[in-house]
Amino acid sequence: MNKFEAANHERLDLSVLEANLKTRRLGKAPGWDNELWDTIDSTNNRASRLATDNCPEGLIVLSRHQTAGRGRQGRFWLSEPDAGLYLSFLLRPEIALDELPLYTLAAGVASVQAIWECAGLEIGLKWVNDLIAGGKKIGGILAEMPGRASSTGMPALILGIGINLRLEQRQIPPELKNKIDCLENLAGQAVDPNLLVAALAKHLETQLDLLAQNCRQQMLDSWRRHSITLGKYIRAVAGSTEIEGLAQDISQTGGLIVRTKDERLVTLHAGEISLRNADGSYA
């Protein structure tokens, strides 16, 4: 039991969540119902199947537990029952493939705003998809483009978000013990998952509207404000190449602009970065 386990601990409940949705599109896919599973392999997998089955934009797939939750680069995502939020938004934006990072960044900004609103906790954004608090990872974003809708050929974008809500020490594998934490532990209070999802949907819709209205600068500025990446020395591994340098800015398509030791500007579009600690090590 974690220290906030109490009678008033809310669990995900679709009717409570939907009653709190203050969105126009997200969670309101015309003619299709949002889904809440007790257990599922991965909400991203389910949303991808719905996308090829012609489900329109807006549907949210949630699960209390995932048996094959996925992180970036094929890693597993810890998805213990009711210990986190595991959800995927099905979107149908008109985007070029190289703009995919923008949607990951937009989901990051929405997560910061929703967590602040519902838990009073300040989260930092580590490029490209990590949600960090107290130096540890508390969540992440997985953006994927599955196959096109079978009847219309429309492309889809699945934005999967995982947030650790209330993890007990015994649920954390030893190799992750020093690396991850959860909202309730850091916020010192119980967090209602229904309100958090409703807030996520509201803030994500706002950020997506900015992208759709050619106002990406506003979204990028919000990301910059909450970044714990810019201004830091980073190491990145992209395939067989390793790059070290100063994370200088974010590009117009969400890439990370790095100034290398030999003063070259390199833009990373994908891959994993580590931030340099005060002692010179990278984490």
What is the binding site for ligand BTN (CB under 6 A)?
42-44, 66, 69-72, 75, 77, 86-88, 129-130, 140-142, 160-162
State in angstroms the smallest separation of the CB of 42 from ligand BTN.
Answer: 3
H-state helical runs in 120-231: 183-187, 193-212, 216-226
Beta-strand relationship, 130-133 and 136-144 = antiparallel
For ligand BTN, give the closer residue by CB, 52 or 218. Answer: 52
Nearer to ligand BTN, 171 or 248 (CB): 171
- Residue with Cβ nearer ligand BTN (44 or 194): 44
Q: CA angle 163-51-68, nearest 5°?
A: 40
Closest distance of CB 148 from ligand BTN, Å: 20
Q: Is 162 exposed, middle or buried (0-12, 13-18, 19+ CB in 10 A)?
A: buried
User: Quick one: 117 or 272, whose CB is closer to ligand BTN?
Assistant: 272
Record the tokens describing residue 222, joined without a space.
């919000």
Give least dist CB 128 to ligand BTN, A. 9
Closest CA to 41 of 66, 70, 8: 66
Least distance in Å: CB of 220 to ligand BTN?
A: 20
Distance between CA atoms of 100 and 59, rounded to whole angstroms? 19
228 vs 274: CA distance, rounded Å: 11
As measured in angstroms, the least distance from the Cβ of 280 to ligand BTN is: 25
Q: Cβ 8 to ligand BTN, closest distance in Å?
A: 25
Residue placing its CB nearer to ligand BTN in the complex, 53 or 221: 53
3 state SS of 197: helix
CB closer to ligand BTN out of 42 and 253? 42
Is 86 or 103 the residue whose CB approaches ligand BTN more closely? 86
Which H or E run contains 153? none
Task: Select the residue whose beta carbon is closest to ligand BTN and give its number.
Answer: 140
Name the minimum Å distance from CB 80 to ligand BTN. 12
Q: Long-range contacts: 8-14, Cβ < 8 Å, 24+?
A: 8/190, 9/166, 9/190, 10/190, 10/192, 10/193, 10/194, 11/64, 11/82, 11/193, 12/36, 12/62, 12/64, 12/82, 12/85, 12/193, 12/194, 12/197, 13/194, 14/62
